[in-house]
Amino acid sequence: MNAATRATAFCAAIALFSISGCGGGSGGSADGNMAAVDEDSPEFAAMQYRQGLMHVLGYKVATLRDMAEGTIEADAGVFAKYAADTATAADMLLEGFVGMEASSTDALPGSGAFPDVWSDWDDFSQKAAELAAAADEVSAAASAPGFMVMADSAEPLGPVCGNCHRTYRQR
């Protein structure tokens, strides 16, 4: 999402709260309006938490993939640690969503979590479990004696991020 789209989405969301000031003005108006978001709310904290966690996952998994593909130097020890970290982070994923319906795209500017996360909770949880299972599989293989990073070492992690994002994440 570029800055302009983000500002538009923000203003569309903020309109729900009948706050004026969106649309008009020059560059930087979004910053002024940011004060309208209650940054002390549990919903805002949950959004910050899960978005941060997603970036942790993104960094760890990109590194695993790059090592497997040989675009960066493979280090079996680092690979094993990052795989274990991915499994740990996957186990922490639902904590950023549970009970936080009011932090969906419909309710909280900046959120990329569709309301379906909560209305289809069992399926959403299942997608999180699939990520955890894939990470556990990669981690178990990487912690075996004599492990060496191979082209398919990160393969189980391939589809699991997108499988959830396709349905539940607004981009």
Which parts of this chain interact with ligand HEC (CB under 6 A)?
Answer: 47, 50-51, 54-55, 57-58, 61, 93, 111-113, 117, 124, 127-128, 131, 160-161, 164-165, 168-169
Q: Judged by CB, which is closer to ligand HEC: 116, or 147?
A: 116
Least distance between ligand HEC and beta carbon 169 (Å):
4
Q: Tokens at residue 117, please?
A: 């996360």
Q: In the bound complex, what is the minimum distance in angstroms from residue 149's beta carbon to ligand HEC? A: 18
The two three-digit tokens of residue 126, written as one number? 């299942």
Is residue 12 within 8 A of residue 106, CB to CB? The reply is no
Minimum distance between the CB of residue 43 and ligand HEC, rounded to whole angstroms?
10
User: Please, what is the minimum distance in Å from the beta carbon of residue 23 to ligand HEC?
Assistant: 23
| Nearer to ligand HEC among residue 9 and residue 74 (C-beta) | 9
CB 50 within 8 A of CB 68: no
Angle formed at CA 29 by CA 50 and CA 46, multiple of 5 degrees = 15
In order of 55, 63, 72, 78, 152, the CA distances from 69 in angstroms are: 21, 10, 8, 15, 8
